[in-house]
Amino acid sequence: MIKSIRLDERLIHGQVATKWSRVLGVNRIIVANDEAASNEVMQKSLMMAAPSTCKVAIVPVEKAVAFCNDPRAEALSILVIVSNPDDLLTIARETHGAEQVNVGNYGRIAPKRGTEARHSYSLNLYAYDDEAATLREVVATGIPCNVQTIPDDAPQSLEKVLG
């Protein structure tokens, strides 16, 4: 079962390894990212940051969808992590039974488009207009969506944050 789908451009890092994995009680972390799945250096870095309490898979988005939809995944507690709004929408639409979508960190280090600036929606959420539209599509899936960097922060409704 998917406990949470998290948008975090840094994928696995300290907040995920020490806080989110423990608070959510997950035993699997799936990094759904085409680039990381094909980059051995990124994979090694992510695995070093991963908590020892969870099995971790770094796979293309399509494979993450298949894994999450496999009936055997129902017995697992899964955190899926994506690095961009498009992948978030794919996972939200194409998997079943996710308990929540959590937007943690996005837009500060994501690839830029020339001199165009992202709009600031919260302390750790910056998005271009089309990215915000994609996030609104995620909200429209009906999965509860929040913006919350760490578990100690009060969650905010993604819909309200986007305005």
Q: Domain extents for the chain?
A: 2-162
Q: Whole-prediction pTM value?
A: 0.96
Tokens of 109: 């280090």
The helix or strand, by DSSP H or E, that contains position 102, with its residue range, turns out to be: strand 101-105
pLDDT of residue 111: 86
Q: Which residues are catalytic?
A: 13
Residue 159 has pLDDT above 90, yes or no: yes
Per-residue confidence band for 90, with pLDDT thresholds at 50, 70 and 90:
very high
Q: Is the pLDDT of residue 17 over 90?
A: no
Across residues 125-149, what is the average pLDDT? Answer: 98
Class of domain 2-162: alpha beta
For Cα atoms 28, 29, 31, give the angle at the middle one, nearest 5 degrees: 150
